[in-house]
Chain A
Amino acid sequence: MTDLTAPLQVEDLLDRLEIELRREIAARELTDPAMIGIHSGGVWLAQHLHRRLGLQDPLGLLNISFYRDDFSQLGMHPMVTPSRLPFSVEGRDILLIDDVLYTGRTIRAALNEIFDYGRPACVVLGVLIERDGRQIPIRADCCGTHLTLAAGQRVKLTGPDPLQLEIRSVSL
């Protein structure tokens, strides 16, 4: 495993993501959106964005462990922090936040879980980094940046304080 220091500043990407979210909220004329962060990196980012956008409802937390599609191969994910959605998603406009959009499987699981709580009016997906490697047809509505990485490379957000991005090479 090699460690590469990425020239990616979380603060800059967060600024960019905030601008895109504001633009999307305005374009879709969302008056009172609610925000959900995906455990764990997405929640860290969502805490910042939730404050910056001054949203009314408390932040929702989604842990998609129970909705993963690799349960039969990997089994129960350890250290489960339960999901907590302190508002009704029925008919709401939802801003869904995650750190990295890669294969798309996490977002698939997150959408399934959200819909088990109710039927939202719309879901806007905001991610810090949209990288290549999608395995299912899902894309972000808003992102901090786009990234193209080699097959064996992973980008990971560490945090919550400080929030940092690192790019690692993993053996395939």
Chain B
Amino acid sequence: MAASPASHDLQLDSQGRLRHFLTIEGLSRELLLRIMDVAESFGSVTEQTVKKVPLLRGKSVVNLFFENSTRTLATFELAAKRLSADVLNLNIRTSSTAKGETLLDTIRNLEAMQVDIFVVRHAESGAAHFIARHCAPHVSVINGGDGRHAHPTQAMLDMFTIRRAKGADFGRLKLAIVGDILHSRVARSQIAALKTLGAGEIRVVAPKTLLPAQVESLGVVPYTDLDAGLAGVDVVMMLRLQKERMSGAYLPSESEYFRCFGLTERRLAKAKPDAIVMHPGPINRGVEIDSSVADGPQSVILQQVGHGIAVRMAVLSLSTPGGAP
């Protein structure tokens, strides 16, 4: 199930409005800015005694998670509930697919229950696209992370966090994405979003074994030395090191990785003094990041979680049928 090039068009209707939210690729700068602006406006909702707005009242959102997740699932659920939608969380690993039901059959059954929005997380790249191609016309699909391909809402909440901390001019920013670039859907979506927003310089920092071949073709500058990669950057975007990579031939050991690529206070000192540190979570303390940095004054990791709700509210409301340009 690979994402076809035409899948970008799948996301927009004939008037250029969001139909599905599957990947950052193919979306305009204006649309990304609009998502952030709408997210910004949802900030006031959390100040209300009743932390809800009635935008998606009567709509049903199904979180269709074929892969484990805590943060993404929880923030999608809260986002949908703050928009007054009804939410159903389905952990498919424990349901019908284990009994042999196909993905399409699962979707057909849910559609028969008059669902309006599917949020899909799947270990297979292209799963959300596949569902978007086969679902009924009134249904919207939002990608909550598919295989190594994309995690567009994570990328948008990261952009939102950067804009909050560093202002709207991405052109003057130097950013470093550090960690397992090769396997990371987060990195892929971050790079796409940063390119679209006109970021000044995007660096990717990783051991050679975790950098994709010809990574430069993405418009990024590769570094295999952390100190050099962090020198003078405004934003450090850490990636989670998947424990299972340790068992393969990619890395010698956790302690070796931490020694070369772990973000410590000493390492962070190479970046600009006001640089921010981001991480999509969950963090592996002492593997890719030191606790003193993760909990330190430059860390915006917990802000990212809060922003995740606002950004997902924006994506949910903008991709609901009838969304204005």
Seen from chain A, the residues whose Cβ lies within 8 Å of a Cβ on chain B are: 63, 65-67, 71-85, 90, 112-113, 115-118
Contact = CB atoms under 8 A, between A and B. Distances in A.
Interface of B: 17, 34, 37-38, 40-45, 47-50, 52-55, 317-318, 320-325
A118 B318 CA distance: 28
B320 A75 contact: yes
Nearest to A115: B50
B322 A116 contact: no
A121 to B, nearest CB: 15
Nearest to A83: B44
Given A66-B54, A67-B54, A74 B40 contact: no
A67 B53 contact: yes
A52 B73 CA distance: 50
Given A76-B317, A118-B49, A82 B54 contact: no
Contacts of A73: 322
Nearest to B318: A76
Contacts of B50: 115-117
A10 B318 CA distance: 37
14 contacts: A66-B53, A72-B322, A74-B322, A76-B55, A76-B324, A77-B324, A81-B41, A82-B44, A84-B44, A112-B54, A115-B50, A117-B48, A117-B49, A117-B50
Contacts of B44: 82-84
Contact of A74 (B37, B45, B47, B324): B324
Contact of A116 (B17, B48, B317, B321): B48
Nearest to B40: A82
Nearest to A90: B49
A77 B45 CA distance: 16
B48 to A, nearest CB: 5
B28 to A, nearest CB: 15
Given A75-B17, A81-B41, 10 more contacts: A67-B53, A71-B322, A75-B321, A78-B34, A82-B41, A82-B44, A85-B47, A113-B53, A116-B53, A117-B48
A27 B325 CA distance: 47
A75 B54 contact: no
Contacts of A77: 324
Contact of B45 (A66, A76, A115): A66
Contacts of A82: 40-44
B40 A66 contact: no
B101 to A, nearest CB: 32
Contacts of B321: 75
